[in-house]
Amino acid sequence: MTRRSVLTLGAALGLAGVAIPKAAWSWSPAGSVLGTGSGVDPQWVWDDDLDRIMASVISSGQTAAVNDAILPWVNNWQPVPTGLPPELAGFLQGSTQLPSWADRTKLRRAADFNRRKDTYLFMIYGIGGGIMSTVIPREARSVYHSKGGADMQDRAAKTFSFGYDLSDINAFERTGEFMVTSNKTRMVHSAVRHLLPQSPHWQQSGHDEQIPISNHDILVTFHSTGTFAHKKLKEWRVPMSTADQDAFLHSWQVALHFLGVRDEYIPATWDAAHAQAAQILTPKLAWTPEGQELAETLLGLTAQVDLGVTRGFLNEFVRYQLGNEIGDWLGLPRDYVSAATIRVGWPSYIAFREGLLPIMPANFYLFDQLLRGIAMAFLNRGASGTTTPITIPDMNRPTS
């Protein structure tokens, strides 16, 4: 990728200070929630204890038994399930506890913020972050060649379940689900780290990793969702107080901790988050054949739900969020009528919802239908917005 391309992407995604990728990790742990750290590049950091445990679970043929045990485990108030291997149960006893630096007042404010801004966040996570993931080469290749890549509707439903549970009003309360959902997701990541290196197709895909889903990779995914959301909300002039923004970040900080990211890598402020994103997200975006196929599949799933939203409109909303360069990479045909409608209509839609515009804009229901289509396509295979079961894989993509 040329320097010009990096700068263009930086502008399109609203990430300040983007420059040519640096040779080595240089983000300072002084900017983390911990305030100190080793400075070791997170692309060489995984989840060693859980990775070893999950490798043992898979190698000893216990995957089905573990999936049976965790199936009814949904709410935060529920104890770690019985029937798990003792070492896994012991690990989960600790990993389901809030970190000492978590602030419940901020988490409750974040839950209220998510409730008030859920429409915009859903659009950003679903169309923006979801499609951006397909031009993050490591993520696209890992998803495509893992078991989930063979059934993207199921995989997308599980990804949406993570975001849905994080955004829920009770996310970190006893009646919420996120603390369980995040730990199940963490277990899946460990399983994929064990399985994917055994895939000859993944090995030959041109990736630059020996083991996938490092702390670095999880941080990149955070920046393609949480940090990207923060930038887009500001760009769209969605009203947010400083306290709301701080609380929103805090919910993501705790989420990263629950996913096994070391505290020394978790940004303490939005300024620190955007600085980290400029180093590890934007310069890494690129086209891959795996990502191209995944993007087409994801956009096709939404297009299947015919609620009056055309595929051209969906393509243009991707371009509206991510820029024309990524749209061109993915070969998204232009629909200039839809582009004009979005450019004028989306700001009016936001203004009306925020009480800043007294008259409902003409295209209000078109955007509402798009949101509904995304929800029906991804949340639990369109059956409902309830919990989508997250299961531990025991194999890679069948062709891998």
pLDDT at 12 over 60: no
Position 310 scores a pLDDT of 76
Give 146's strand partners. 396
DSSP H helical segments within 211-288, as ranges?
215-222, 228-235, 242-258, 270-280
pLDDT for position 91: 98
Q: What percent of the chain is modeled with pLDDT above 90?
A: 65
Each residue of 304-313: b (16+ CB within 10 Å) or e? ebebebeebb
Q: How many CA atoms does the CB half-sphere of 23 hold within 13 Å?
A: 0
Q: Which residues make Cβ contacts (< 8 Å) with residue 201, sequence separation at least 6?
A: 145, 396, 397, 399, 400
The pLDDT of residue 17 is above 60: no
pLDDT band at 55 (very low <50, low <70, confident <90, very high): very high
Place of tokens 């062709």: 399
Greater confidence (382 vs 129) lies with 129
The whole model's pTM is what?
0.90
Tokens, residue 37? 């750290």
Give the whole-angstrom CA distance, residue 174 versus residue 161.
Answer: 18
For residue range 119-161, list pLDDT tens digits in order: 899 889 888 998 999 999 999 999 989 887 767 666 666 676 7
Distances (CA, A) of 68 to 72, 95, 319, 344: 8, 20, 42, 50
Q: What is the pLDDT of residues 30-48, one digit of tens each?
A: 999 999 999 899 999 999 9
SS3 content of the chain, % helix, strand, coil (to 5): 65, 0, 35
Top pLDDT among 317 and 384 is at 317
Nearest to 17 by CA among 282, 388, 233, 324: 282
* Helix, coil or strand: residue 267: strand
